[in-house]
């Protein structure tokens, strides 16, 4: 069996079309959705993510603001920036790009964000609301994974989903979202991590396997059952002298081998990555609807 490719690029474009209609509707009511991003320091990967977010906003007609602070910014200063954004009516949603420099307490900063403007969905109130099935904002990457599954005809209801990874931004929330008693969920979920014994014995049971480990090409074909749906979240930079830049991006899944066994698979790049950005845009738009007492 050769797997069908689930193109995040194509699905994200469809969602962008839907968002354009929503944004036009808001604009017709005199509302321009606004998203702000706060970046502390000069981490090149973070700078690139922040640029991509700004570009995506501009392309859709979402008002975007990027606040760049030096790496030695004090926690107090960052908290005052968060406070200003909490109060700014032009900004419906915002996020503080992680990771933060070591001298800043990440949890303290996340806790200071107004949960109603928490575009990343990382505030403990939003994490709790996601868990009890009453979400305000869903975190972008796990929400994007759910949309990819549903829109590719792989509704997770009744399926055994095996998630490899238990981070707060991917593994745990995707497990929480897919186990809900809700549309596009109702899966039976197993979460594996670095202390899991005999990982392959779990992944081989998965109707759907979600790899979110950060370990290049770790998931091999013999770890997947025939016909499984494989979602590769991993984004790993590996040296490749044959590539123009001397490196390329690969996922956590051994794509070439696994695609011969899976029924559906996501590529890297062009899979989960584009979905993450568009789901963040969706959070900005839903926040604008909510802030104006409107139904999305």
Q: Binding residues for ligand NDP, per CB under 6 A?
A: 141, 164-167, 169-171, 192-196, 199, 212-215, 218, 233-236, 272-273, 276
81 or 189: CB nearest ligand NDP = 189
Residues 147, 10 contacting (CB under 8 angstroms): no
Q: How far is the CB of 53 from ligand NDP (least distance, A)?
A: 12
192 or 284: CB nearest ligand NDP = 192
Distance (Å, rounded) from C-alpha 177 to C-alpha 127? 10
Judge whether 97 counts as a catalytic residue.
Answer: yes
88 or 106: CB nearest ligand NDP = 106
Distance (Å, rounded) from C-alpha 176 to C-alpha 28? 36
Judge whether 240 counts as a catalytic residue.
Answer: no
Q: How far is the CB of 135 from ligand NDP (least distance, A)?
A: 18
Q: How far is the CB of 287 from ligand NDP (least distance, A)?
A: 20
- Residue 118's alpha-carbon distances to 93, 125, 220, 248, 287, in angstroms, are 6, 10, 37, 32, 9
Going by C-beta distance under 8 Å and a sequence separation of 6 or more, which residues neighbour residue 211?
164, 165, 218, 219, 230, 231, 232, 233, 234, 251, 252, 253
Q: How far is the CB of 165 from ligand NDP (least distance, A)?
A: 4
The H or E element containing residue 119 is none
Judge whether 22 counts as a catalytic residue.
Answer: no
198 or 295: CB nearest ligand NDP = 198
Q: Which two tokens stand for residue 273?
A: 């990555």
* Residue among 22, 117, 118, 120 flagged as catalytic: 120
* Residue among 97, 117, 180, 254 flagged as catalytic: 97
Strand positions, DSSP E, 57-202: 63-69, 93-96, 160-164, 188-192
Which residue number places its CB atom closest to ligand NDP? 167
Q: How far is the CB of 169 from ligand NDP (least distance, A)?
A: 5
**Active site members:** 53, 97, 120
């Amino acid at each position: 069996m050769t797997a069908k490719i689930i193109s995040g690029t194509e699905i994200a474009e469809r969602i962008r079309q839907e968002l354009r209609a929503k944004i036009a509707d808001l604009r017709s009511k005199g509302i321009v959705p606004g998203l702000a991003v706060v970046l502390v320091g000069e981490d090149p990967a973070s700078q690139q993510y922040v640029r991509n977010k700004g570009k995506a906003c501009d392309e859709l007609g979402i008002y975007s603001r990027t606040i760049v602070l030096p790496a030695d910014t004090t926690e107090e200063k960052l908290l005052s920036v968060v406070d200003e954004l909490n109060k700014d009516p032009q900004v419906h949603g915002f996020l503080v790009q992680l990771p933060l420099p070591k001298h800043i307490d990440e949890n303290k900063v996340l806790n200071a964000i107004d949960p109603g403007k928490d575009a990343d969905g990382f505030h403990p109130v939003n994490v709790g609301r996601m868990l009890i099935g009453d979400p305000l904002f869903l975190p972008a990457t796990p929400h994007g994974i759910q949309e990819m599954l549903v829109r590719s005809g792989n509704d997770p209801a009744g399926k055994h989903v095996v998630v490899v990874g238990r981070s707060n931004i991917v593994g745990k929330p995707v497990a929480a979202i897919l186990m809900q008693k809700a549309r596009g969920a109702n899966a039976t979920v197993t979460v594996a991590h670095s202390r899991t014994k005999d990982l392959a014995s779990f992944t081989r049971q998965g109707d759907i396997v979600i790899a979110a480990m950060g370990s290049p090409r770790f998931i091999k074909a013999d770890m997947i059952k025939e016909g499984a749906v494989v979602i590769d979240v991993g984004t790993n930079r590996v040296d490749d002298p044959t590539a123009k830049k001397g490196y390329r991006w690969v996922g956590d899944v051994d794509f070439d081998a696994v695609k011969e066994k899976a029924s559906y698979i996501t590529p890297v790049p062009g899979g989960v990555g584009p979905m993450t950005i568009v789901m963040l845009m969706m959070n900005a738009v839903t926040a604008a609807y909510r802030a104006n007492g409107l139904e999305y």
